[in-house]
Amino acid sequence: METKELLKKVRQIEIKTRGLSRNIFAGQYHSAFKGRGMAFSEVREYQYGDDVRDIDWNVTARHNKPYIKVFEEERELTVMLLVDVSASRDFGAVGEMKKSVMTEVAATLAFSAIQNNDKIGVIFFSDKIEKFIPPKKGKKHILYIIRELIDFHPESTGTNLSLVLEYMTNAIKKRCTAFLISDFIALGNYKNALSIANRKHDLVGIQIYDKRETELPNVGLVKMYDAENGSEDWVDSSSKKVRDAYIRWWNERQNVMLDYMRKSRVDLASIATDEDYVKALIGLFKRRS
């Protein structure tokens, strides 16, 4: 992308997403994520009504009476965006391109983090770690992230969700809030990596998908191209059997993803490219508040 065109696009996204984070998400982001970042402060004697899950059993055993851990809200969080840059994001038949929606969602979350005095970092991934931007604060840092979201060119076309989750778990030592932004079309068992990442960090899944991906239209003989592995196949979409098989394929993938998220206790927002992502993010924030 030409520099002038890129800067214009960066400015457009900055104006839109900064306004959203300031006018719509102010306060909701804080209540949804700030309360999850708690630091140990001290212990005190148990009082009626305290949560028994906060009991410090070592201190209780030493004093022969119950003591609980007291926590205080951490003043700043580290927020990580794990952004899928595989070839399947370059698709858009209904509404915006998946890549465009991913960029706006990521930018909105980044501005929300900065306005709450949090650090923001990014990991771009395909079936390899494409780029790691360490967490920092400041508008200059945000604009750099937006430029990369718009104009990043990955080396690989595939997807490996386990790889990015394991990388983030190892690379970010302090507990952070992480948003895994992907279409989640990739095959592979990433449940274990998802569970481990969410135990160490506060992980949230954001699925961006195109409704045309959920079913095969009846348009006769069509050539299907897999952008991630480069394979091509002719498919007879006029066959109801073929169309039904495609729907089953999509539903099976969705059900596997939802099962992984549920068992790993990871919150998820699914956003279609022709839907209002603002409404979906607000719904996600409210569920967590």
**Which among 15, 48, 73 is the end of a domain?**
73
Confidence of residue 258 (pLDDT cuts 50, 70, 90): very high
Lowest-confidence segment of 56-65, 98-107, 139-148, 230-239 by average pLDDT: 230-239
Residues 52 and 79 in one domain: no
Residues 159 and 57 in one domain: no
Tell whether the model's pLDDT for residue 36 goes beyond 60. no
Residues 7 and 126 in one domain: yes
Question: Whole-model pTM?
Answer: 0.80
Residues 173 and 271 in one domain: yes
Side chain identity, residue 261: M
Q: What is the pLDDT of residue 44?
A: 81
Residues 45 and 90 in one domain: no
Q: What is the pLDDT of residue 278?
A: 86
Q: What is the pLDDT of residue 219?
A: 81
Residues 127 and 49 in one domain: no
Residues 57 and 97 in one domain: no
- The alpha carbon dihedral of 78, 99, 101, 211 has a sign of negative
Smallest Cα–Cα separation from 35: which of 73, 91, 78?
A: 73
pLDDT single digits (tens) 55-104: 889 889 989 999 887 665 555 789 999 999 998 887 656 667 888 999 99
Q: What is the mean pLDDT of residues 8-18?
A: 78
Confidence of residue 2 (pLDDT cuts 50, 70, 90): low
Q: What is the mean pLDDT of residues 234-258?
A: 89
Average pLDDT, the chain: 84
Smallest Cα–Cα separation from 266: which of 284, 281, 286?
A: 284
**Which among 46, 73, 100 is the end of a domain?**
73
Host domain of residue 90: 3-31+75-288
- What is the β-pairing status of strands 202-209 and 177-182? parallel
Confidence of residue 285 (pLDDT cuts 50, 70, 90): confident
Round to the nearest angstrom and report the end-to-end CA distance of the chain. 40
Beta strands in the chain (DSSP E): 38-45, 67-73, 78-84, 119-125, 129-136, 177-182, 202-209, 221-225, 232-236, 267-272
Residues 130 and 262 in one domain: yes
Residues 184 and 69 in one domain: no
Residues 59 and 128 in one domain: no
Number of domains within the chain: 2
Residues 183 and 277 in one domain: yes
**What is the percent of the chain with per-residue pLDDT over 70, rounded to a whole number?**
86
Residues 153 and 56 in one domain: no
Q: What is the pLDDT of residue 19?
A: 75
Q: What is the mean pLDDT of residues 23-29?
A: 65
Q: What is the pLDDT of residue 212?
A: 85
Q: Tell me, what CATH number does 214's domain have?
A: 3.40.50.410
Q: What is the mean pLDDT of residues 32-50?
A: 68
Q: What is the pLDDT of residue 226?
A: 66
